[in-house]
């Protein structure tokens, strides 16, 4: 087996609307809805991937063994120069907790900034 990339991941969140507002309003991802049977689901889409949201206590099966808001730590790659990313994030009233700083990505050296989403997940935004 050879895995090529990921399609989506799920974040367990305290409030779906707060998460949609952050990922759309701060990070510019597209809000989407889709159905699982007759239940409406919520996500954000970016590039060829998406993030699905499960509201804590109302998760969908199957789910993580211990779904917990604020337990994620992930890196998103942008083609936007990192200094422009910093300006945009700050202009939207969001705090950068670290960076720009040099890190190691899947393909080599990256420059990253770190921020927190409404559930305190650690979101790293980087470019090569």
Q: What is the pLDDT of residues 72-105, one digit of tens each?
A: 999 999 999 999 999 999 999 999 999 999 999 9
Number of domains in the chain: 1
Give a yes or no: residue 2 inside a domain.
no
What value does the mean pLDDT of the chain take?
Answer: 95
pLDDT at 42: 97
Closest Cα partner for 72 from 114, 24, 26, 21? 114
Say if 106 falls within a structural domain.
Answer: yes
Look up 30 and say whether it is catalytic. Answer: no
- pLDDT at residue 38, rounded to an integer: 82
pLDDT-based confidence at residue 37 (cuts at 50, 70, 90): confident
Q: What is the 3-state secondary structure (H, E, C) of 8-75?
A: EEEEEECCHHHHHHHHHHCCCCEEEEEEECCEEEEEEEECCEEEEEEECCCCCCCCCCCCCCCCCEEE
Asked if the structure places residue 49 within a domain, the reply is yes
Model-level pTM? 0.93
Task: Work out the percent of the chain whose per-residue pLDDT is above 90.
Answer: 89
- pLDDT above 80 for 36: no
Query: Does residue 90 form part of some domain?
Result: yes
Q: Which of 30, 55, 59, 124 is catalytic?
A: 124
Which residue in 92, 115, 118, 94 sits closest to 16, CA to CA? Answer: 118
Is residue 3 one of the residues assigned to a domain? no
Cα gap 116→79, rounded to integer Å: 20
Q: Which residues pair with 45 in a beta bridge?
A: 30, 50
Q: Which residue range forms the structural domain that includes residue 19?
A: 8-127
Residue 36 within any structural domain of the chain: yes
Q: For residue 63, give the CATH number of its domain.
A: 3.10.180.10
């Amino acid at each position: 087996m050879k895995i090529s990339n990921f399609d989506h991941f799920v974040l367990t969140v305290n409030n779906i609307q707060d998460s949609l507002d952050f990922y759309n309003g701060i990070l510019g991802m597209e809000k989407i809805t889709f159905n699982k049977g007759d239940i409406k689901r919520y996500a954000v889409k970016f590039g060829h991937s998406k993030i699905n949201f499960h509201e804590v206590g109302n998760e969908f099966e199957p789910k993580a063994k211990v779904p917990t808001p604020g337990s994620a730590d992930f890196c998103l790659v942008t083609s936007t120069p990192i200094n422009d990313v910093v300006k945009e994030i700050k202009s939207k009233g969001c705090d950068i907790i670290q960076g720009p700083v040099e890190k190691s990505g899947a393909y080599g050296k990256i420059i990253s900034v770190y921020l927190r989403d409404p559930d305190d997940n650690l979101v790293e935004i980087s470019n090569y």
